[in-house]
Amino acid sequence: MNYDLFDLSNNGDTWTEEICKDALVLRQFAVAQAPELMQAVTEVTTQAPFRHMQTPGGYTMSASLSSCGSMGWVSDRVGYRYSSHDPQSKQPWPAMPEILSKLATEAAEAAGYHRFYPDACLINRYTPGAKMSLHQDRNERDYDAPIVSVSLGVPATFLFGGMQRGDKTIKVPLAHGDVVVWGGESRLKFHGILPIKAGYHSLTGEDRINITFRVAG
Ligand SMILES: O=C(O)CCC(=O)C(=O)O
Ligand SMILES: [Fe+2]
């Protein structure tokens, strides 16, 4: 099997696994709060609905997305970037609900990153078959802050690679409530999501929801 992450700690309900240096999975870290997190996601996406963005290369992303916080990630024919406004509504992105920012700060702390205060929260929705190709998160202004990424609903296989697109990848199964935190030497590593298999979760239906926190600057 290609999956044997090193178990760093185990507190019974939640445990921590290392993908590689400076990349951790906090298993089940967000399970207890998941219903409230989903409620916050629904509040955000009522104001800024999920949409499929265009890539600079002219493709349409299979995951649909929304954002909250002072900066939101956008993609169009011009490129990838952060914007203070939702290009669809021309309004500022919805404020980041406290339950989301607090969870992000706590998860970062649990992974050893102190004082992580994200200004950008990207929400990805994957329906069956949707995926995210290997990419680096590199539109943020500085790379000192980690990325905190929360999985809800239907499971996924996360690919985590190296500094080059062609580097070998590790397959990491992500379940409802798992949180991945990567920073330091892993901050710019390529990662992606394999096509989501058909499934069902009582909180999200057929979807997988991913909430990704960054300091965009
Ligand atoms: O859905 C995920 O778990 C990863 C999302 C991601 O890599 C991103 O939004 O940049
Ligand atoms: Fe990413």
ipTM: 0.99
- Binding site membership of 182 for ligand 1 (Cβ less than 6 Å): no
The average pLDDT across 175-191 equals 98
Residues less than 5 Å from ion ligand 2, measured at CB: 137
CA dihedral 189, 190, 195, 200 (to 10 degrees): 20
Q: Name the pLDDT band for 123 (thresholds 50, 70, 90).
A: very high
The CA-atom distances, in angstroms, between 182 and each of 136, 144, 146, 186 are 12, 11, 5, 6
Residue 116 · residue 108 · CB < 8 Å: yes
Residue type, 153: G
- Give this prediction's pTM: 0.95
pLDDT tens digits, 143-178: 999 999 999 999 999 999 999 999 999 999 999 999
Domains along the chain with CATH numbers: 6-214 (2.60.120.590)
8-46: pLDDT as tens digits: 776 668 999 999 999 999 999 999 999 999 999 999 999
Pocket lining: 75 vs ligand 1, CB cutoff 6 Å: no
Name the packing angle between helices 34-47 and 98-110 (round to 10°).
130
CA of 136 to the centre of ligand 2 (A): 6
Rg (CA), the chain: 16
pLDDT at 12: 63
pLDDT of residue 1: 39
Which residue has a Cα nearest atom 1 of ligand 1? Answer: 210
Closest residue (by CA) to atom 9 of ligand 1?
Answer: 212
| 191 marked among binding-site residues | yes
Closest by CA to 149, choosing from 198, 115, 197, 116, is 116
Position in ligand 1 atom list of the atom nearest CA 122? 9
- CA 109 – CA 128 distance, rounded (Å): 33
How far apart CA 90 and CA 155 sit, in angstroms, is: 33
User: What's the pLDDT at 169?
Assistant: 98
Q: Is the CB of 181 under 6 A from ligand 1?
A: no
DSSP bridge partners of 10: 15
Return the pLDDT at 4. 62
- Measured on CA atoms in the order 155, 5, 170, 215, is the torsion positive or negative? positive
What is the number of alpha carbons within 13 Å of residue 79 lying toward its C-beta? 5
Question: Tens of pLDDT along 68-80?
Answer: 999 999 999 999 9
The strand ranges marked E within the chain are 6-10, 15-20, 23-27, 64-68, 72-76, 79-83, 120-126, 132-135, 147-153, 156-160, 170-174, 179-182, 191-193, 208-214
